[in-house]
Amino acid sequence: MMIWPWKKTNGTAAAAADLRERNSAEDALTALIGALPDPVMLLDDHGLVRAANVRAKDLLNMDPVGQHLSSAIRSPAILEAVQNVLEHGGELRVNYEQHVPVPRHFEAFVAAMNVIGPEAAALVLLKDLTREQQTERMRADFVAHASHELRTPLASLLGFIETLQGAAKNDEASRERFLALMQTQAERMKRLIADLLSLSRIEMNAHQRPTGTADLHQIALHVRDTLAGLAKDAGVEIKIDDTDPLLVQGDWDELVQVIQNLVENAIKYAASGKLIEISGKRVGEDCELEVRDHGPGIAEEHLPRLTERFYRTNAQESRSRGGTGLGLAIVKHILNRHRGKLRIQSELGAGSSFVIRVPAVK
């Protein structure tokens, strides 16, 4: 229970009735700010903090009740806003940044209160905007990345078109060469758009858990058939261990995409290891499937970031192998929707292991 420091008693019966009324209003106000989801403080007309909810105490790492606002919060903007609403009424919104223990960004909402009398004259509510701002920044970064990825092949296509219209107009050999290069660039754009659409489709369904069933072992066999040509061209053998069916609750097409992205990566980046091994097993309530290669491996510092959109350990190499930088982001999103997980273990020179874990059919 919060203490209202201005509760005083004085002798007369009328004063006692008045006090009871005021106390019950104060109790209601106390309960109200206690139930609010944001840090809230109530100030008197001198700027002294008269009440604060637990969230405010946690945020300020102190109990500000009884102190002047300036000792609770070091923000000239908030103090000025409080001064302003105390003098002129109304409401104001100002920014407030916290730097320790982690940077956080708030909007302080400061409003005059004249319902309760001079003791609760202003309210300060701090709305945490850190998450919203992070999401907004990620969205802006994503758009910038995607546009950049599309602009590069587009610029090179435009360059080739110009050359074909001008210098190489009547040069058959150059024409063939440029057309082949243009095809490569156009296909890169097509892949990127397909991956972007895939990601947005998965995100749209992110909260709906798939209802079908799929066998991870069968999917591995299917992916091996699909990628047989690619593996052969790269000189890689795909070996799949025999197992009992690994039935999981999931969407066949999406899980095909997960395993296909992992095996494709192993072919693209780890062909030097010559062998890709796929094995699966039941682990408690889940099924696991591992795609293991014997390629160059991945340095430890990259591992936590590999599933970020457009994160690559070597952008040049990824592009030259037809990578979009979205493969593992798609894997992660599909697994999230399946309430599954991805575990990556790798070491430079020792190959990589990508393990997916998905809840088994009950």
Binding site for ligand ADP (CB under 6 A): 261, 265-266, 269-270, 293, 295, 298, 306, 312-314, 318, 323-329, 352
Instruction: DSSP for 247-269, please give it.
Output: EEES-HHHHHHHHHHHHHHHHHH
Nearer to ligand ADP, 247 or 258 (CB): 258
53 or 318: CB nearest ligand ADP: 318
For the bound state, the minimum distance from the C-beta of residue 269 to ligand ADP, rounded and expressed in Å, comes to 4
- 327: its two tokens: 């493969």
- Please say which residue, 250 or 325, places its beta carbon nearer to ligand ADP: 325
d(C-alpha 238, C-alpha 217), whole Å? 13
Longest dimension (CA), the chain: 109
Residue nearest to ligand ADP (CB): 327
Helix (H, G, I), strand (E, B) or coil at 275: strand
| Residue 144 identity | A
Q: How far is the CB of 351 from ligand ADP (least distance, A)?
A: 8
Closest CA to 292 of 273, 313, 314: 273
* Neighbouring residues of 321: CB distance < 8 A, sequence distance ≥ 6: 268, 269
Check if the beta carbon of residue 277 is closer than 8 Å to that of residue 243: no
Q: How far is the CB of 149 from ligand ADP (least distance, A)?
A: 10
Residue closer to ligand ADP by CB (options 243, 307) is 307
Provide the minimum distance between the beta carbon of 260 and ligand ADP in the complex, in angstroms, as a whole number. Answer: 11
Q: Give the nearest distance from C-beta 296 to ligand ADP in angstroms.
A: 6
Residue 356 beta carbon to ligand ADP: minimum distance, rounded to whole angstroms: 13
One-letter amino acid of 238: I
CB-nearer residue toward ligand ADP: 106 or 269 = 269
Distance from C-alpha of 94 to C-alpha of 164, rounded to nearest angstrom: 58
Instruction: Specify the residue, 56 or 227, whose C-beta has the smaller distance to ligand ADP.
Output: 227
